[in-house]
Amino acid sequence: MRQLTINKNDAGQRLDKYLSKRFKTMPKSLMYKYLRTKYIKLNGKKVQPDVFLSEGDVLTFYIRDEFFEEKKSYDFLKAGKELSIVYEDDNILLIDKKVGVICHQDNRYDSDCLIMRVLRYLYEKGEYDPEKDKSFTPALCNRIDRNTGGIVIAAKNAEALRVMNQKIRDNELHKYYLCVVKGVPKPEHAVLTAYHHKDEAANTVDIADQPKEGYKEVVTEYTVLIPSSDRSVCEILLHTGRTHQIRAHMAHIGHPLLGDEKYGDQRFNAKYHTKRQALYSYKLEFAFTSPAGCLENLDGKCFTVDSFSFADKTHIQL
């Protein structure tokens, strides 16, 4: 017999979902059989698989020990330690992701990515223990392309992740970007509305001025901050968050981003010897319009990266 006590991060989810994440080698058919035959009990009683767990609940197991045995080898310990932390509290981290760092693992970046660095950081601080938090792993709430830098949000616990993801869906966060574009947009401030379609196979998007079938509305606000003879530094406020929205929308109005090989001007890029888009998510503002639970302390706060370099090494000091 073994017992597990449900902690804060495990609470609030269905029992069968928790068991599937906690015992990855246990077949689902066997898990449901254990529940039917009372080989798994909740607070000493037979339990249905769809019951929601609460903090402090005690699960009792009369199952084979092999399901509890796991190798203690953590890939995140292979990740780098470099993290530029903009803000941290008990619930979230705001990280200034540098250009060239990928947010999540892929075939080329197996272990050294931003989320792995976050896990290593929290593990070495003693705030994350994979042996105790079996059904929750700290996670990123947003992502930024490898060739773009800027503020990324990481949730330390399950409640923070749920609340932050809902706030993002409800557009209660304002994300500001700086970019270098070709020419000087006219007027120097505008709120642009257009229509966006993504080609999944090619990983490109098309922007249209008029509604079309399969196209979704995009709203992009820009302000020219530093105009010059052939390029300008602009601030972008996203009112919607579509794939490649800034890059494609600015190119659509004739002002592609410097270094953007997908939507940009190749001659313009060659002139400045850059092949990465000059784009940085430099400011994040929390503007909640509904209760925020554990994140209430963030309401009304604004966080800014004051100094950074674009992919072409153009340095910005605000």
Domain ranges of the chain: 2-68, 72-169, 176-281
Question: Which pLDDT score is estimated for 310?
Answer: 64
Q: What's the chain's average pLDDT?
A: 90
The secondary structure of the chain in percent helix, strand, coil, rounded to multiples of 5, reads: 20, 30, 50
pTM for the structure as a whole? 0.75
- pLDDT tens per residue across span 144-166: 988 889 999 999 999 999 999 99
CATH class of 176-281: alpha beta
Average pLDDT per block of 10 residues along the chain, 318 residues long: 89 92 87 94 94 94 80 80 95 94 76 91 91 86 90 96 95 95 96 96 94 96 93 94 94 96 94 89 96 96 82 55
CATH number of 2-68: 3.10.290.10
Q: Do 72-169 and 176-281 agree at the fold level?
A: yes
98: left (phi over 0), alpha (psi -120 to 50) or beta: beta
Superfamily of structural domain 72-169: Pseudouridine synthase (3.30.2350.10)
